[in-house]
């Protein structure tokens, strides 16, 4: 498969949010849960960046970072369902876009414990935000399943992008991280 076909396939895989033009008809909450990470720029950029960063790692970090993000985000979602808010939640979400973007831009490999702690902390803020925005008639279980699947898919898109591109495209991945970091600065300033 050539590079163009790979990029087209990844672009199509990363755009399922377009199918949710008439959200709100799904009382199970799955569609709302799928849409939330895909339609929020802050969530979308952070979750893609986690996949990009994981693919830049070696060994267990390649799967541990996305798995940690999903697990911690789900825990945060449960807290949000219970009405628990955390201080500076929106700042943490915007900060995650900046931090993960920078980590991708410099392709840094932090010690595993630090990488997991950082990922878990930022994922918790995303999860609480998801949980607090549970639609009124939606099932929390369906909604959680939706945002978990969407998040894992976004991680997978970022991971696949790095792993499927030729090694010569590494500067493009780093540039993507830098653009994400700039978006994080913009989100923090707004």
Eight-state DSSP code of residue 138? S
Compute the mean pLDDT over every residue in the chain, rounded to the nearest whole number: 88
pLDDT tens digits, one per residue of 18-43: 444 334 445 578 999 999 889 999 99
Mean pLDDT, to the nearest integer, of 143-172?
Answer: 92
How many other CB atoms sit within 10 Å of the CB of residue 181? 22
* Phi–psi pair at 111, nearest 5 degrees: -55, 145
Pure H helices in the chain? 3-13, 30-39, 41-56, 61-81, 89-106, 112-132, 140-164, 170-189
CA 33 – CA 35 distance, rounded (Å) = 5
Longest dimension (CA), the chain: 49
CA 129 – CA 95 distance, rounded (Å) = 14
Model confidence, pTM: 0.84
How many other CB atoms sit within 10 Å of the CB of residue 89? 18
pLDDT band at 136 (very low <50, low <70, confident <90, very high): confident
């Amino acid at each position: 498969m050539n590079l163009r076909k790979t990029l087209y396939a990844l672009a199509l895989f990363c755009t399922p949010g377009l199918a949710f033009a008439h959200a709100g008809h799904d009382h199970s909450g799955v569609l709302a849960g799928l849409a939330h990470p895909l339609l929020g720029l802050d969530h979308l950029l952070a979750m893609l960046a986690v996949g990009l960063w994981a693919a830049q790692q070696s060994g267990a970090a390649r799967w541990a970072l996305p798995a940690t993000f999903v697990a911690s985000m789900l825990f945060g979602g449960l807290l949000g369902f219970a009405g628990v808010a955390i201080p500076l939640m929106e700042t943490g979400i915007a900060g995650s876009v900046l931090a993960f973007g920078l980590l991708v831009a410099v392709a840094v490999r932090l010690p595993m414990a630090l990488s997991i702690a950082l990922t878990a902390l930022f994922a918790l803020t995303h999860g609480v935000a998801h949980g607090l925005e549970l639609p009124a008639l939606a099932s929390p279980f369906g909604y959680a399943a939706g945002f978990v699947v969407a998040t894992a898919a976004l991680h997978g898109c970022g991971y696949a992008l790095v792993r499927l591109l030729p090694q010569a495209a590494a500067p493009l991945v780093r540039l993507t991280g830098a653009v994400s970091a700039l978006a994080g600065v913009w989100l923090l300033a707004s």
